[in-house]
């Protein structure tokens, strides 16, 4: 038996008739840009997120970039980002000319460490971009308190955490704006690139709508130098079908994670720490292990696909070499990059597959 890391074909097979019907509906309507599917998806996802506005975009990265442009973040402003986020959080801030300032993560949750955040704030800090990594909400009580105390803007990178809750509240509702990605492998995925901005602020939502569509308020009337980054109608129609299943799929991910954690409790591998008061949606089930790379090869030889999220922290990427960071600057993020391995996890993953993954892990460590 081979176990893939995620199985998008199985994911499609389970809902194929409704996806096919949705695609046909859009193609027959010949409304490919904007229109009812996009508007309905934006309304339905806003209701799901318990937020006022969802503005569809071309990708999660584009959503972040539009947010930074709309806030606005200007050249020379500092934006604080966790060193172990996916690089897109930082790239979007860089794209508007901001200086990215990295902070280390918490060794248990791998989310931004609020103590480190506090010490990274300078007179030039304009915003904090906090990622809810792997589907687990960051420590929002403390992060909101710190950003408010310093008068900073707060952006949530919710690209891995559709539907997660912190203190009963959906992620994406804590800051000034949030970005979602619908990259195919995300908890809510399109069949191509897609993303969205979430906000409760009416004026900010309008600004984002103008920016994503050539800076126009109406056709051929351009009030600002916007861009073209829209959610297309085919993707919106696909997302509307998938959204109906998202709560069930998140539930299946949580059950799979619980089963992994129970089985791992009797091995040398510690299950991931879950912060109390949160509803983790397990975009990724990552565990810290010894001899990670050898373990990965061993799993691969047994037909089990794993992944590394992420092998090189952002501050050590060549893309950020101008900041002259070196190994040792963010030791927790660096240790995580060296030691974490992500196990197969997707809604259709079966119990016997989870058992097989854990059996293989035990085999490697001769447990
Ligand atoms: C996926 C992801 C992004 C980027 O989203 P795209 O849709 O691929 O552009 C940004 N941040 C995080 C944390 C992500 O996981």
| 47-56 residue pLDDT tens | 999 999 999 9
Q: What is the pLDDT of residues 166-214, one digit of tens each?
A: 999 999 999 999 999 999 999 999 999 999 999 999 999 999 999 999 9
Ligand 1 pocket member 59 (CB < 6 A):
yes
At residue 264, the pLDDT reads 96
Give 330's pLDDT tier (boundaries 50, 70, 90): very high
Ligand 1 pocket member 131 (CB < 6 A):
yes
Long-range contacts of 39-45, Cβ-Cβ distance < 8 Å, separation of 24 or more: 40/236, 40/240, 41/231, 41/236, 41/237, 41/239, 41/240, 41/243, 42/196, 42/231, 42/236, 44/240, 44/243, 45/180, 45/188, 45/196, 45/239, 45/243
- The span from the CA of 89 to the CA of 252, in Å, is 28
Chain mean pLDDT for the chain: 97
When pLDDT is averaged across residues 297-306 and rounded to a whole number, the result is 98
Is the predicted pLDDT of residue 249 greater than 90, yes or no? Answer: yes
Residues across the chain? 367
At residue 65, the pLDDT reads 98
When pLDDT is averaged across residues 146-166 and rounded to a whole number, the result is 98
Measuring CA to CA, which residue among 338, 333, 344 is closest to residue 292? 338
H or E stretch covering 89: helix 88-95
Give 318's pLDDT tier (boundaries 50, 70, 90): very high
Measuring CA to CA, which residue among 171, 250, 230 is closest to residue 31? 230
When pLDDT is averaged across residues 215-221 and rounded to a whole number, the result is 97
| Pocket probe mutation, ligand 1, options 87, 155, 157, 283, max atoms within 8 Å of Cβ | 157
At residue 248, the pLDDT reads 98
Going from the Cα of 217 to the center of ligand 1, the distance in angstroms, rounded, reads 28
Ligand 1 pocket member 60 (CB < 6 A):
yes
Give 284's pLDDT tier (boundaries 50, 70, 90): very high
pTM exceeds 0.95: yes
When pLDDT is averaged across residues 239-248 and rounded to a whole number, the result is 98
- The span from the CA of 170 to the CA of 185, in Å, is 21
At residue 337, the pLDDT reads 98
At residue 220, the pLDDT reads 97
| Pocket probe mutation, ligand 1, options 156, 159, 239, 310, max atoms within 8 Å of Cβ | 159
Going from the Cα of 192 to the center of ligand 1, the distance in angstroms, rounded, reads 13
Provide, rounded to the nearest whole percent, the portion of the chain with pLDDT above 90: 98
Evaluate whether 329 touches 264 at the Cβ level (below 8 Å). no
Percentages helix, strand, coil for the chain (3-state, rounded to 5) are 45, 20, 40
Q: What is the pLDDT of residues 263-277, one digit of tens each?
A: 999 899 999 999 999
Evaluate whether 321 touches 315 at the Cβ level (below 8 Å). no
- Nearest CA, atom 14, ligand 1: 159
At residue 1, the pLDDT reads 76
Is the predicted pLDDT of residue 291 greater than 80, yes or no? Answer: yes
At residue 187, the pLDDT reads 98
CA distances 16 to 69, 92, 181, 301, Å, are 38, 34, 22, 32
* Crossing angle between the packed helical segments 36-49 and 233-264, to the nearest 10 degrees: 30
Q: What are phi and psi of 78, to 5 degrees?
A: -100, 135
At residue 240, the pLDDT reads 98
Question: Per the omega criterion (within 30 degrees of 0), is the bond before 45 cis?
Answer: no
Is the predicted pLDDT of residue 367 greater than 90, yes or no? Answer: no
- The span from the CA of 367 to the CA of 302, in Å, is 17
């Amino acid at each position: 038996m081979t176990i893939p890391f995620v199985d998008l074909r199985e994911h499609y097979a389970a809902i194929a008739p409704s996806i096919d019907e949705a695609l046909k509906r859009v193609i027959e309507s010949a409304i490919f840009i904007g229109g009812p599917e996009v508007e309905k998806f934006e309304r339905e996802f806003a209701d799901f997120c318990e937020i006022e506005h969802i503005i569809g975009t071309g990708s999660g990265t584009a959503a972040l970039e539009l947010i930074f442009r709309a806030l606005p973040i200007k050249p020379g402003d500092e934006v604080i980002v966790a060193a172990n986020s996916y690089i897109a959080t930082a790239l979007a801030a860089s794209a508007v000319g901001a200086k990215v300032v990295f902070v280390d993560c918490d060794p248990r949750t791998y989310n931004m460490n609020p103590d480190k955040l506090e010490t990274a704030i300078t007179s030039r800090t304009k915003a904090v971009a906090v990622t809810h990594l792997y589907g687990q909400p960051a420590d929002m009580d403390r992060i909101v308190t710190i950003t408010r105390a310093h008068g900073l803007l707060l952006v949530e990178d919710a690209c891995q955490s559709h539907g997660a809750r912190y203190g009963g509240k959906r992620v994406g509702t804590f800051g000034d704006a949030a970005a979602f990605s619908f990259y195919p492998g995300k908890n809510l995925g399109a069949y191509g690139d897609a993303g969205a901005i979430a906000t409760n602020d009416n004026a900010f939502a309008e600004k984002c709508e103008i920016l994503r569509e050539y800076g126009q308020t109406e056709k051929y009337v351009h009030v600002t130098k916007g861009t073209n980054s829209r959610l297309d109608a085919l993707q919106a129609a696909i997302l509307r079908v998938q959204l109906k299943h998202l709560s069930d799929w998140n539930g299946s991910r949580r059950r799979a994670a619980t089963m992994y954690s129970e089985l791992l409790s009797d091995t040398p591998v510690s299950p991931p720490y879950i912060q109390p008061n949160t509803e983790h949606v397990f975009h990724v089930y990552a565990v810290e292990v010894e001899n990670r790379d050898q373990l990965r090869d061993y799993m691969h030889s047994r037909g089990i696909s794993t992944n590394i999220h992420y092998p090189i922290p952002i501050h050590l990427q060549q893309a950020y070499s101008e900041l002259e960071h070196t190994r040792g600057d963010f030791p927790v993020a660096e240790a995580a990059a060296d030691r974490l391995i992500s196990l197969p996890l997707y809604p259709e993953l079966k119990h016997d597959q989870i058992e097989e993954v854990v059996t293989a892990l035990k085999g490697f460590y001769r447990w």
